[in-house]
Structure formats: C-alpha cells, structure tokens
Amino acid sequence: MKNPIESAATFPDPAAVFASALSLWEVCQKSAVADSKLNLSECYNGMDQFMRELMRIANQFETWACQHIDFNELNDIWPYLLEDKFGETCLAVLSPSILMQFDDSDCLRVAIHLELPVILDDKLPIPIDVRAANPMLESPFRAFRIQTIRDFLEDGDAVPYTAGDEPFDDEFGKPYFGFYGVGEDGKLEHIADRQTYAEALSLARKIAPGVLFPAVPIFGKI
C-alpha cells in the first residue's frame, strides 16, 4: 500500500491544466464585463500575454498539486472540480489584474480555499487539526488532539492556526503543534507543544500507546 506522499507523486494531467486555464479565463472575462475599469489587454500588454499567464498558472498549480495533494482523498473528478471552481478561487486570492504575481504560495492559498486534501509538509504552513480516541480507558482524557498553533509576534500570544487564516501572515511566527487532552466534557487541556508533527505524534504514543493518530496527516481530515 502506498503512503500519502507516494500517492501524491503523480504526473500533471493535461486535462486538469486545460480545465484550470479555462476556468480562470471565464471568470476573468466576467470580471472584465462587470468592471469597466478592468482592461485585461492593457494589464498584460495584450490578450496573447494574458493567455500565456493563464496557462502558466494552470501548469504551475497542477505541478504543485501533484506534489502536495492526496488524490485518493478526493471525492470529485479532478479536472471537473478545477473547471467548476479554480478560476473563482484564484480571484479570491489575487486580483485579475495582477495574476502575473501568482506563485507557489498562492497554490497553497488556492488549495486551502478549495479544501483540497493537502498532505502535511514541514516546509509549508499547512493548518492541521487531528483527533484520536484515547485507548487508555482509565485516563481522564477521552481523546487527544494535535493542532497547528502560531505565536502573534507583537505580544507572543499563541493562537490556533486554522483553515480560515492567511498562511503567510507576517504578523505570526512559524506554525508549530499543540498537543491537547480532551476531557469527557469536551474541554481541552494543553499538554505540550512540539515544533513538528512527528514530535507531537511521538509524545502522543508515549503517553497513550496505541493511539491512532495518522502517521502523515491530511489537511481537512479530522
């Protein structure tokens, strides 16, 4: 059986690239119709360059997705999902007039907006929130939770880093992992913090041998 990282290592799909470019083309055209001040030809020194930007973005996102998405966890047909949602999601991240600025950080933003199953990567600020039942029945904790946390740089306060947050917000430090016990009343008790998920998982297994946290968590899976 392949692990999630192996399952994500696939080749770009030309159909997905086409679907992404088409989706982005259509929503940009709608934006230009709705906004008389938006002239795509002027923004990109011609519509031919605009189309090149769309293809660049589509290829870049598909390449990124093949490295970071667990396609086995998708419930939709990949090209159809992109055709339906990619363009609109891109414009939630970047204005149609500055798509030339689209980069790998925007790939992550789009993936989070689309709620795609992104595989945890220590090099990327991926929000993770996973829970597992406590196999130690005599424990006051019914379950455990591992969640990404960030420190607010201005005052050092630790706050959860969730899917609704900007992943590259420069007001916060690098995400790390909080480990919590969950009581019978559902309240959380902070146990420890660890810099990596692997370290938090190791601690969980020491405290509760047999606890079934995923070895490699997926964004969006509890």
Instruction: Render pLDDT for 117-150 as a digit per residue (tens, 0 to 9).
Output: 999 998 899 999 999 999 998 889 999 999 999 9
Q: Judge whether 130 and 217 are in contact, CB under 8 Å.
A: yes
What confidence score (pLDDT) does residue 100 get?
Answer: 95
Q: What is the pLDDT of residue 221?
A: 65
Calpha distance 221→198 (Å, rounded): 17
**The predicted structure's pLDDT at residue 4:** 44
Q: What pairs with residue 192 in β-bridges?
A: 179
Q: What is the DSSP letter of 166?
A: -
Q: Which residues does residue 151 pair with via DSSP β-bridges, in sequence order?
A: 158
Q: What is the pLDDT of residue 3?
A: 45
The pLDDT-based confidence of 56 (bands split at 50, 70, 90) is very high
DSSP classification of residue 26: H
Please name which of 158, 156, 155, 152 lies closest in space to residue 171, comparing C-alpha atoms.
Answer: 152
CA 83/CA 144 separation, integer angstroms: 38
HSE-up of 8 (CA within 13 Å, CB side)?
21
Mean residue pLDDT of the chain comes to 92
Cα 66 from chain centre: 13
Rounded Cα distance between 26 and 88, Å, is 9
- pLDDT of 5 > 50? The answer is no
Residue predicted with more confidence, 10 or 211? 211
The CA-atom distances, in angstroms, between 141 and each of 113, 115, 212, 214 are: 33, 30, 15, 19
Asked if residue 54 has pLDDT above 90, the reply is yes
Q: Is the pLDDT of residue 50 over 70?
A: yes
Confidence check: pLDDT of 21 > 70: yes
pTM of the model: 0.87
